[in-house]
Each structure stands twice: as structure tokens, then as C-alpha cells.
Structure 1
Amino acid sequence: MAVASSADRLRAPARTTLACLTLVLLLAAAPERAASAQAAPKPTAKQLKKELAELQKDSDKFIADYYESRVAGQKAERAEKAAREKLAAAQEVYDRQSTELRAMALAKYIGGDPGTAGLLTSEGDPSALLARMALAQHMIDLQDARLSGYARVRDDRRQAEQDAAARTEELQASTEELEKRKKKAEKQIEKIKDRIDLLYTAPGVRRPDGTWVPQLPAGTDNVTPRMRLVKELIQQRFQVPYGIGCYRAIQDGGEHPLGRACDFMLSRGGALPSGAELKRGEEIAAWAIKNARRLGIMYIIYRQRIWHTRTGGWRTMSDRGGTTANHYDHPHISVY
């Protein structure tokens, strides 16, 4: 049997120690690797936009179902109202005919009914008395038949009213449920849009005081990269059907000639925007305020007010003499 050399005997403990140290290091690193493997990667803008598109499809369906349900509910309400009106008319006729029938029966009772023996022994003409009695009975029977017919109509109307009321209640419950689902979907959409916004930060250099080093305009649109980003994010989130005006060559002392401002129009030709468009303007302004520091927004003007990042509050502006000049038909956003 071969005898191990002294060098091999010296190297063996070293190899054992090295193996132990390696095992300890692997075991120590295992939890960190496991935690790293378990941590979900942050979603990309593409992934979030795909999720947003799918959610918007569901939301659009909820909205369509909601409005269809509202239309059906309005029809049911009209049917219920018509049924109530018809029931009231049928009840009125029934009550009138019932009163007349009771009056006829009472008159017959008060006038007496001589009967066959009385008619034969009376001095009057029996045939004439019989004829009067027959006529009176015929009138009572006729009125009774009419009353029965009106009673059926009244009962049918009452059933129609009950059916219409039940349908209205059912549709109201359905509409309320759809409204809840629609609002939930809208909230989820807003959250995803917020997450998409957070993936973007203003390009350029930020100073220690929070302001940004100004940029030069570039590209065919003559706006700065910072202004272009703000414009694109607003377009993606809100849509601006009446157009966006940014660069203009007129040197008016503002940021438009510098490519650092855009107007997001809510109407055309200086017309006062509709209520929905005014609300859209408020939403754009609120979004710009929320993201101002991260995106390098300097100030916002809307509805004769100005909000500046430095002060963080709205301030009323002097009257400039018109809807557009006073920014009632568009929010204005300037970046550093």
C-alpha cells in the first residue's frame, strides 16, 4: 500500500478547510439568491400598456352595458308610469259605474218589488208592470256586466303596474351593480396610468434647489425633450381632440418661442368649452401638478389662474381680455 507523502498530508487539511469555507459561503448566499429570485421584476411600460389596453376593453364593455341598462331602465320607468296612469283611469271608471249600480239597486229596493202575486191582484195593468220590472232588471244586469268588465280591466292594469314596477326595480339593481363595476375598472385604469407615468422622469440636469437646467429645442416640432415628454404623456392619458399648440416664433416673453410651453386646447375659435371639456382641463392641470417636480414642470395656467412649482398654490391672474387670453379654453404648461 502506497504511503502518502508529507506534502499530501499537509495539503489535505487545507483542502478540507477550503471546502468547508466554500460550503459556508454558498449557504450564506442562498437566502439572498432565493430572495432575489422571488422578487418580481418591475413591469416595463410595454407590459403596463398591454395590461391597460385589456382593462380598458373590459371598462368599455362595462360602460356600454351600463348605458344600455340605463336606457332599458328609463323605458321600464315610462312603462310603469303609463301603467299607473291607466290604472288610475280604470279605477275612476270602475268607481263611477259601481256608484251608479248601487244607486239603481237602492232605487229598486226603495220602490219595492210587488212580486207576481201583487202584480196579478193590483189594479194596474200587470203587463205594463212586468215590462217596467223587466226593463229595470235588464238595466241592472247590463250595468253589472259593464262593472265586471271594468273590474277585469282594472285588475289587468294593476298587474301591469306591478310587473312594470318589478322590472324597474330589477333594472335599477342591475344598473347600480354595473356602475360599481365601471367605477372599479376606472380606478384600476387610473392606477395603471399612474404606474406608467412613474416610469418616466424629465430628461436633463436637475439643480440642488429643485429647478432644472434649461434645454434647447430640437426636432421638427421645435420643442425641448422635456416639453415633448410632458406633451406625449398628456396625449396618451387624456387625448386632446382640439389640438396642442407648442412652438410659435412670436417673441412674447413667454416659453412658447423657446420650445418650453404647450397649450392643450379644449375648444375651437375661442369658444367657451363645454362642461365635459372644462373638466378635462381641470384633470390635465391636476395631473401636471401631481407630476410637476418629477417631470420638470415650472408652472401651469388655467382659467385665469397660475400654479407655480416654487409656490405650490393657485393664484388669480389679471384679466387679459378674452377667453383664450385668460386661458379659459386651454391649460398652458411650461417646463424649465
Structure 2
Amino acid sequence: MAVASSAVRLNPARASSPRHGWAVAATAMLLLLAAAPAQAEPKPTVKQLKKELTALQKDSDKLITEYYNSRIAHQKAESAEKSAKEKLAAAQEVYDRHSTELRAMAVARYIGGDPGAMALLAGGQDPATLLSRMALTQHVIDEEEAVLRGYAEVRDARGRAEQEAADRAEELERTVGDLEERKEKAEKQIEKIKDRIDLLYTAPGIRRPDGTWVPQLPQGADNITPRMALVKKLIQERFEVPYGIGCYRAIQDGGEHPLGRACDFMLSRGGAFPSAAEQKRGDQISAWAIKNAKRLGIMYVIYRQRIWHVRTGVWRTMSDRGGATANHYDHPHISVY
């Protein structure tokens, strides 16, 4: 607006022009629009979320079907590869046996010599004996030729079995890659569905203007508040917690457990250090709690000797309390308002 005013003062004649007046008004309107804060995107309604979930579910079913078909193809490729390996092993055994026989035949001929027909005729023996020895020699030659032909067939069969095994191994490797790709797509789609389902839930109770929530009384057999019960339910459904969930305890230690506003989601039993897979589960639970903290009334998360508070939005290292459980290495702790 200051720019427009100075333009009017510098040139009064132009300011009196109707066209110039429209230009000044348009400029002022543009400046006001540019200065106005961007409107926040409205939160989706339950109806919109359910509509999105229907579409996501449809896509998910398609991806799962494709994944299933890939699993069948992979299983067939595994079976074919196994069969090809067995054929190759059998062909190799026959090939080795024939190779041994062929080497033995070659050694025998080298040691015994091969006199031939002319050498037999020069021996001064009677014709009947000569004919008999010549026939025997021809029989040996025929046997050797049969062995050689058999060896060639065995060798060729082994080569075919070897090629088939290589082809089946390549096919199996290809189906493994396809299977993993389709599995990843299906898992991502399922995660999208879970994320949209989360948005259908909002923490019960009254939220103050400063972002905190009015306290609630514990209720039910497990003595936890409705807010904590909702967080517990959503985590159980999304992640499963096979080693148990500990919430209310009567010991007054200054925390939220005695107030029914905290739960521990165990990753192992008896204070044992969790496996790599369970540590990953703990990371996922903690990340989910942080992502949904403001909407579900989560106040802070403790995991692996660190604490994340909704007010700061960052992880801070905690002092060493000794032991996997005391330092929260075997469980994420979640407290709600």
C-alpha cells in the first residue's frame, strides 16, 4: 500500500485517471492477497476417510492378488530348479562312471597293444585260429565303439541337464526379485490403509487451547484412562505386542502409571535385551506415537534411554538408571495427558 501511495503523490495527474484508479486498486488487492496467510488444508471428514479407505482397500486387494500369483510362480520356479539340480546330479554320476570306464579301456589298450589283422596273418598260425582271433578283435572293437557312443550320449545329456539347471536357477532368481517387489508394494499399500484408519480416531476428552488436555479418571478393569485405552488399542491392532503390555501399577513413583496414563509395550521377557527385530518393532511403535501425539493426546515417549516430549518435539538422552528395563531398552513407554 505504501508503494501505491507514493505513486499517487509523484504524479497527481495520473492519479485522477479512472484507468489509473483501477490499476491502483488491483495492485492493492494483489498485495493484500500476497500478504494473507495461506489457509490450512481442512481435515478430512469421517465420510471422506471411509471413501478413501474403500479405494485403498480395492487397490490393496489387487496388489495382494498379484503378490499371491508371484508366490505361486516363485514356488513353481523353486520346484523346477530343484528338479533340474537332481537331474544334473544324476547325469553327472552317469557321466563320471562312463568317464572312468573309458579311461580304463584306454589304459588296457595302451598296455596290451593292438596288433591288427596284418600282424595276426604274419604269425604263422593256421587259418581257423587266425579267423577266430580276428573275430575276437573285431568284437572288442565293436564293444569299444559302443562304449564311445554311449559316452558321447551321456556327455550330451549331462550338458543339457547343466543348461537346464542354469536356466531354472536364473528363472528362480527372477521370480525372487518380482516377489519382493510385489510384496513391498502390497506392504506400502497396507501401511497407507493403517495410516488412514488412524485418522478416524481422535483422543477422547477436552483439549485446551495450549495443546494440553484436561485430565481423565482411570476406569475399567485395567485402571487406565479412556485416552490411554485408545492408544493401547491402536498399538495392539497395528503392531501386536507378543510380550505383553504393562499399564497401571500402584507404586507411587511420580510417573503416570499410578494415574492410569502410561503403558509399557514390552519387546522381550524377564529383562532380556530384545532381538534386532523386536528393537525395530520398538522403533516403529515410538515413531507411530510421535506421529500421532497431538491428535491422540500423547504427552511423551521413552525408549532406549531417550525421552521425546510433545512440547519440544525432539529426543533427549536420559541418565543411566542401570539395566535394560530401567533404561527402557526392552520397551517403549508412552504417557498421555
Give the alignment's TM-score, normalised by structure 2.
Answer: 0.70
Report the CA distance between 1:47 and its aligned residue. 6.2
Q: Distance between the aligned counterparts of 1:222 and 1:281, measured in 2?
A: 24
Residue 262 of structure 2: aligned partner:
261
**Are 1:247 and 1:257, in contact at CA under 8 Å, matched by a contact in 2?**
yes
Percent identical: 60
How far, CA to CA, are the matches of 1:109 and 1:138 in structure 2?
16
Aligned counterparts of 1:172 and 1:93: Cα–Cα separation in 2 = 32
Residue identity opposite 1:43 in structure 2:
K
Q: Which moved more, 1:67-76 or 1:300-309?
A: 67-76
Deviation at 1:166, TM superposition (A): 3.6
Q: Could you tell me how far 1:255 is from its partner in structure 2?
A: 0.9
Give the Å deviation of 1:94.
4.6
In 2, Cα distance between equivalents of 1:41 and 1:258: 33
SS of the aligned residue for 1:252 comes to coil
Partner of 2:241: 240
Are positions 1:147 and 2:148 aligned together?
A: yes
Pairs within 5 Å for 1:86-97: 86-97=90-101
- 2:12 is aligned to none
1:181–1:211 Cα change, 3 Å: same
Conserved? CA contact 1:240–1:266, under 8 Å: yes
Question: Deviations along 1:263-308, whole A, 9 cap, x unmatched?
Answer: 1123333344444333222211111121122222222122333222
The letter of the residue matching 1:236 is: E
Aligned partner of 1:290: which letter?
Answer: K
The alpha-carbon deviation at position 145 of structure 1 amounts to: 1.6
- SS of equivalent residue, structure 1 residue 299: strand
SS state at 1:236 partner: helix
* Contact 1:93–1:150 (8 Å) recurs in 2: no
Query: Within 1, Cα distance between the matches of 2:47 and 2:230?
Result: 20
Deviations 1:292-330 (A, max 9, x none): 222222221223332222333333434433333332332
Residue type at the aligned position of 1:190: E
Instruction: Provide the rounded CA distance (Å) in 2 between the counterparts of 1:58 and 1:331.
Output: 35
Tell me the CA shift for residue 147 of structure 1: 2.8
Deviation at 1:78, TM superposition (A): 3.4
CA RMSD of aligned residues (A): 3.6
The 8 Å contact of residues 53 and 196 in structure 2, kept in 1 or not, is answered as: no
TM-score, structure 1 as length reference:
0.70
Can you list the C-alpha shifts for 1:199-248, whole angstroms capped at 9, x where unaligned? 32333344454433433323333222221221122122222233222111
Which residue identity lines up with residue 194 of structure 1 in the other structure?
A: D
- Give the secondary structure class of the aligned counterpart of 2:307: strand
Match in the other structure for 1:306? 307
Say which is worse superposed, 286-295 or 106-115, in terms of deviation: 106-115
Tell me the residue number matched to 2:222. 221
The number of equivalent residue pairs is 294
CA contact (8 A) 1:83 1:160 kept: yes
Could you tell me which runs of 5 or more consecutive residues in structure 1 were left unpaired when the two chains were aligned.
Answer: 1-39
The gaps in structure 2 that reach 5 residues or longer are 1-43
Q: Distance in 1 between matches of 2:310 and 2:206?
A: 17
Q: Name the CA distance, whole Å, in 1 between partners of 2:79 and 2:323.
A: 44
Q: Separation in 2 of the partners of 1:274 and 1:61?
A: 32
